[in-house]
Chain A
Amino acid sequence: VPCVSGDLPKPTNVTFISINMKNILQWNSPEGLQGVEVSYTVQYFIYGQKKWLNKSECRNISRTYCDLSAETSDYEHQYYAKVKAMWGTNCSKWAETGRFYPFLETQIGPPEVALTTDEKSISIVLTAPKKWKKNPEESSISMQQIYSNLKYNVSIYNTKSNRTWSQCVTNHTLVFNWLEPDTLYCVRVESFVPGPPRLAHPSERQCVSTLEDQTIALEVK
């Protein structure tokens, strides 16, 4: 049943939230209609093509987000999306995003971080984050394959001296030497790609203790 367009206020803050090419369209419910049973319908558009396209799983939905990852998976294209609110026979005008360019705007998630310790050193092995994939059975694509210039900002914090070092690396293994024995260190790693500014996504803080200094340990015996 066609609705009367424009009688409802539009949804607000319609935007893509994108991490590792998982592209979620989200919005706020229209002003003044919080708590009212409003439903939403979403469409998307590929820049340079002709028609707005429907997303069937996001027709007449009550939630305020819609996963458009599959529809926007060609990250070298640019996209628009729009959403309208409906309530009974009334509906709002469309509320539209700006031009969304996944290749430039997706946030790069943190790498996996593996730590091993010695008396005075910590070895760190990084594994690049994985690109979103439609089916779990599909083979994984590393974000490194998409961004050959992917780098990592590694910071290490000495919990005893409260000092922090940071190092920008491109390779996946690094060793912090000249550390203090028997000391708790915490590591945090952030991926980044040169180019337009992107929101950062640091890894969880991981803490590990360097081993006791064996020479002292022997003397004590």
Chain B
Amino acid sequence: QEFQFGPCRVEGVVLQKLWQAFWAMKDIVQAQDNITSVRLLRKEVLHNVSETESCHLIHALLRFYVNTVFKLYHDKAAEFGVLKSFSALANNFFVIVSKLQASQEKMFSTHESARRRFLLFYRAFKQLDRESAVTKAFGEMDILLSWMEKFYQL
């Protein structure tokens, strides 16, 4: 069981566990997102991503989720009583990011298009107030996991 984002391989992560963790909190989290007219992970961010591009993009997205979204959503997760699922997701994301980091250092190709895609996501995030943006980003983890599933081999 591993992720294969183009040249970047990530072993030892059980995607089914990430799904179970998110699904346990999906309804609570998404119900808090009242700005339904904005979708951060739009099709332009995740569609038709090339293999080599995928490593750059997933690394940028997951690093942002670990350093910003998870960090700022922790108290909400505690408030909603979903800290266990939240931690399972956070820990797995942290593992993936650290393993991607190692792969990325060996990659010389720079990917302007991966950066552009990430910036689409990031700018939409920045246009919202921070609490709404973090809630929305967390609620869209099903979109992110669906995309990651395409790179997962059992």
Contact = CB atoms under 8 A, between A and B. Distances in A.
A134 interface: no
Interface in A168-221: 194-197
Interface in B122-150: 139, 142-143, 145-146, 149
Contacts of A103: 146
Contacts of A125: none
Contacts, number: 47
A104 B145 CA distance: 10
A88 B146 CA distance: 45
A104 B16 contact: no
A195 B146 CA distance: 8
Contacts of B33: 99
A195 B36 contact: no
B30 interface: yes
B146 A47 contact: no
Given A98-B27, A98-B30, A104 B142 contact: yes
Contacts of A80: 36
B22 to A, nearest CB: 7
Contacts of A49: 37
Interface residues of B, number: 23
Contacts of A196: 19-20, 22-23, 142
Contact of B15 (A76, A101, A194): A194
Interface string A65-88: 000000000001010100000000
A149 B154 CA distance: 9
Given A104-B142, A195-B149, A197-B23, A47 B43 contact: no
Interface in A155-178: none
Interface string B31-73: 1010011110011000000000000000000000000000000
B38 A48 contact: yes
Contacts of A197: 19-20, 23
Interface of B: 15-16, 19-20, 22-23, 27, 30-31, 33, 36-39, 42-43, 139, 142-143, 145-146, 149, 154
Interface of A: 45, 47-50, 76, 78, 80, 98-99, 101, 103-104, 149, 194-197
27 contacts: A47-B36, A47-B39, A48-B36, A48-B39, A48-B42, A76-B43, A78-B39, A78-B143, A98-B31, A99-B30, A99-B33, A99-B36, A101-B142, A101-B143, A104-B142, A149-B149, A149-B154, A194-B15, A195-B16, A195-B19, A195-B146, A195-B149, A196-B19, A196-B22, A197-B19, A197-B20, A197-B23
